Amino acid sequence: MIEVFQTIPYKGVRKMIGKRMEVSGAYPMTYQGMYVDVTDLLAYRKKINAEMGVKLTVNDFIVKAVSLALQRTPIMNSAFNEDMTQIQVYSNYNISVMTASEKGLVAPVIKESEKKTIFQISEEMKELVEKANAGKLLPDDYAGGTFGVTNLGKLNSFDSVPLPQPPQPAIMAACTAKKMAVVVEKDGVDQIVPRMMMKLVIGGDHRILDGVPLASFLNDMKLLLEDPEVLTK
């Protein structure tokens, strides 16, 4: 006999996510991973927050970079139509951001991210997190996502195998950044230096996406996150 010390109702948002994941695990997936040097991003974030009196998070930079990278590989922002006879590529980039709130895991959506600056994304994300913690997210707050992002940075998680929420075709996980020995070239000479490295892992619906668009997307993410000033323009 196994004793039960607690029962947790399987309902609401938790059940909704569970039902979606049942569908997500039923079709073939394809994965790509890449390390990104975020040393300069972490320093730039600290600098711009001090100079401008703002509170940009690493996640804000990630979401902004995702918005720009999706625009460079539009097939990443697509889904099947209702009868699965077409793949529809969307012109709006609505990013579902997985959020561990005090009420459980939720995925509020930054809608039309392509029209927003990183500062607007940051303020909107803070408002959505506040609503999530208070249990006041409305159905519209987590509806209409076209691509998913999950940030594991605070969890000491250095790898991931994320599953997208149907009908979204893909989700990207940003793992915990850690100091690593990296070979860099300076004045024509290879040197080993410590750098803060973050692994990005993207999982995509293999019925829609092949390895090439996933790799192209990650390469753009690397370019953007390693040149963080671009993300605040």
User: Active-site residue numbers?
Assistant: 206
Q: Which residues of 13-32 are buried (b: 16+ CB within 10 A; e: fewer)?
A: beeebeebeeebeeeebbeb
Separation of alpha carbons 87 and 31, rounded Å: 20
DSSP 188-225: TEEEEEEEEEEEEEEEEETTT--HHHHHHHHHHHHHHH
> In sequence order, what E strands does 71-146 have?
78-80, 87-89, 95-101, 104-106, 109-110
